[in-house]
């Protein structure tokens, strides 16, 4: 989504142009990547982070960070990745017979705060942390039929476009609450490596275009692109279209997505330890 990339670029350039912040060693820039995956109705719906039916996809991220206190670091980042899942690899017979699948790109702008166990001036080689923040992301679930990929949201596969329907079209721009944990490794005075796991709690159950019930077949076929909508609403192996109101997905749990990432952070400034800070790092005694 262009607006996410433009917003991130403006903030990133502004932060990079602030020489004073960088000279203090508080502001850093980073780049990284890893794996992104989804949890929802198409991976044997559970409330766990790792579940059957979803696929791991590579993703990339970049951004800027700023030390607010000795243990709290604010991080602004942009991430781009892909999520997907398919009933064809489900271990549950009901889901396997449903035979749905999807993929979607994710463009995310995230602001979170990392709470470090150790103070930054302690210069520990290893520093565990946990994080909490807010994110805004764009998604657009698609499904393949033949050689063509179709955007699912405009089709209203669960009756969102039907007159008088109480199911409203879902928005493709959403908010998320990211919660994570990780470990930071100090390579030098200015360079750190981070390994992290970040899970996003969402406010939508349509990340995969599946959440509720099957709509009425005749009513759905009369909508714009009705034939395609019907074909992608029901892909059951037995070929029979379920009765209106029969369960297609479950709204018991919201969908979510998670990233496992590795990043390198560069703080170009000079990190000065104040004289008032007493380091807990052990000192060597001279032996003579």
Helix locations, the chain, DSSP H: 2-17, 19-23, 93-98, 217-221, 226-233
The SS3 call for residue 79 is strand
Domain residue spans of the chain? 2-266
Beta-carbon neighbour count of residue 39 at 10 Å?
29
In angstroms, the first-to-last Cα distance of the chain is: 66
- In the chain, pLDDT over 90 holds for what percent of residues? 64
pTM of the full structure: 0.85
The alpha-carbon radius of gyration of the chain (Å, integer) is: 23
Q: How far, in Å, CA of 196 to CA of 245, rounded?
A: 42
How much is the pLDDT for 25?
66
In the predicted model, is pLDDT for residue 288 greater than 50? no
Q: What is the structure's pLDDT at 121?
A: 80
Tens digits of residue pLDDT in 203-218: 999 999 999 999 999 9
CATH label, 2-266, candidates 1.10.8.50, 3.30.930.10, 3.30.300.30, 2.40.160.20: 2.40.160.20
pLDDT in tens, 47-67: 566 665 568 999 999 999 999
- pLDDT for 129-157, tens place per residue? 999 999 999 999 999 999 999 999 999 99
> What confidence tens digit (pLDDT) does each residue in 96-114 have?
999 999 999 999 999 999 9
State how far the alpha carbon of 17 is from the alpha carbons of 9, 21, 113, 279, in Å: 12, 9, 22, 32
Q: Phi then psi for 6, rounded to 5 degrees?
A: -65, -45
């Amino acid at each position: 989504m262009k607006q996410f990339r433009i917003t991130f670029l403006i903030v990133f350039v502004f932060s990079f142009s602030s020489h004073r912040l960088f000279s203090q060693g508080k502001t850093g820039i980073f780049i990284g990547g890893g794996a992104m995956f989804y949890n929802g109705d198409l991976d044997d719906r559970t409330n766990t982070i790792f579940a059957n039916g979803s696929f791991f996809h590579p993703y990339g991220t970049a951004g800027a960070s700023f030390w607010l206190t000795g243990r709290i670091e604010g991080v602004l980042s942009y991430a781009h990745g892909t999520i997907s899942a398919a009933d064809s690899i489900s271990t549950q017979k009901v889901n396997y017979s449903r035979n749905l699948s999807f993929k979607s790109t994710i463009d995310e702008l995230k602001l979170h705060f990392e709470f470090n166990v150790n103070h930054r001036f302690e210069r520990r080689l290893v520093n565990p942390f946990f994080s909490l923040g807010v994110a805004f992301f764009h998604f657009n679930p698609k499904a393949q039929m033949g050689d063509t990929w179709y955007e699912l949201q405009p089709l209203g596969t669960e009756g969102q476009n039907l007159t008088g329907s109480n199911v409203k079209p879902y928005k493709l721009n959403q908010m998320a609450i990211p919660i994570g944990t990780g470990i930071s490794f100090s390579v030098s005075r200015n360079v750190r490596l981070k390994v992290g796991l970040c899970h996003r709690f969402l406010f939508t159950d349509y990340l995969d275009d599946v959440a509720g019930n099957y709509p009425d077949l005749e009513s759905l076929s009369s909508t714009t692109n009705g034939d395609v909508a019907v074909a992608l609403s029901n892909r059951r192996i037995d070929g029979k279209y379920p009765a209106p109101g029969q369960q297609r997905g479950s709204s018991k749990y919201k969908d979510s997505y998670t990233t496992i990432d590795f990043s390198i952070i560069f703080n170009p400034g000079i990190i000065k330890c104040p004289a008032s800070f007493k380091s807990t790092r052990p000192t060597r005694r001279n032996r003579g």
